Amino acid sequence: MRSLQCVQPGSFEYILTPDPTPREGYAIIKIQRIGVCGTDLHAFEGTQPYFEYPRVLGHELAATFVSGDAPGFKPGEAVTIIPYLYCGKCIACRNGKTNCCVRIQVCGVHCDGGMTEYYSVPSYALLHGEGLGFEELALVEPLSIGAHAIRRAGVKEDEFVLVTGAGPIGLGIMEFARIAGARVIAMDINPARLSFCSTHLNVEYTVNGLEEHVTEKLQDITRGDMPSVVVDATGSQRAINNAFQYMSHGARYVLVGLQKEMISFSHPEFHKREATLMSSRNATREDFMHVMESMKKGFVKPATYVTHRLPFGEVKTGFPALLKPETGVIKAMIEMD
């Protein structure tokens, strides 16, 4: 079968790999759609932590079930996967936090992913399609990251939630903050993305991070309080460090974006707020089910996100354009030939 391998930063190659074979506890699925994630873009750029080359990318997957040791699944039915493969034995797994397993293997990051025709996954990772279409199913995973971050933050109705970074993950965070009843503030440095937040997601407030007097604008929006939840979805060291100043007293700051350097902030300023700093990594089955239910109820409209589509056979040549700001990508979707 044909697979697409990122052999080194900036380089893809189509390769022939063996078809997966049946084995106990595993299922074979036929890939139908692959969402292009920030992780894939960063891997192609050479800026993704926890990454080694060569690697077959892809973990935002929609597929059909082919065969395998997976009770309750029928050949031909639509499925998606939870792409965080866990050991089930470590302290995180024993406490139900399989999303941050000590020995986690994220498909397309620590092990080869789904940019391939057929894929073998542990049966515990499979989810029924629940009547959703392939593009919807390929968007469940990135939206689940947003849902998990909001659940980690314990967002309450009517509180102000500032989301820095209006890429696909940030947009998902905004969606689930809204579903939780929060008043959402989007911050980015890209005016087109801020416009997208307003017109397509009905985000109440937008702030351009390059403008002067950002703090004053946030004070105006929150009537002097400042946001009680701040969520970073930029993965930018500068943006992460800057956002410490945007927290209210008693605020929670959730880091979803990931970068390689040290975080720096004023201890006295953080301490006097009795603030909480936490990370949010991946998502759990509970988050996936919440996203799928939200889709079925119409609370989230996945078609809003997909701005670009690529046939699988054109990814090698078409992928570099996805990194260019002028391309205007919100979410790119790879369609299997």
pLDDT in tens, 156-185: 999 999 999 999 999 999 999 999 999 999
Confidence of residue 28 (pLDDT cuts 50, 70, 90): very high
On whether the CB atoms of residues 62 and 333 are closer than 8 A, the answer is no
Q: Which ranges constitute the DSSP H helices of the chain?
A: 38-45, 91-94, 134-138, 140-153, 168-179, 191-200, 214-221, 237-242, 267-272, 285-296, 315-318
Confidence of residue 259 (pLDDT cuts 50, 70, 90): confident
- Domains in the chain: ranges and CATH: 2-139+305-335 (3.90.180.10), 145-279 (3.40.50.720)
Task: Check pLDDT > 90 for residue 8.
Answer: yes
pTM of the model: 0.95
Tell me how crowded residue 276 is: count the other CB atoms within 10 A of its CB. 15
On whether the CB atoms of residues 81 and 33 are closer than 8 A, the answer is no
Q: How far apart are CA 290 and CA 190, in angstroms?
A: 30
Task: Check pLDDT > 90 for residue 61.
Answer: yes
In whole angstroms, how far apart are CA 83 and each of 12, 17, 150, 278? 22, 20, 20, 22
> What is the phi-psi region of residue 313: left when phi exceeds 0, alpha when psi lies from -120 to 50, beta otherwise?
alpha
**Model pLDDT, residue 50:** 73
How is the chain split among helix, strand and coil, in percent rounded to 5? Answer: 35, 25, 40
Q: What is the mean pLDDT of residues 253-280?
A: 95
What pLDDT, in 10s, does the model give residues 221-246? Answer: 999 999 999 999 999 999 999 999 99
Residue 246 gets which letter from DSSP? G
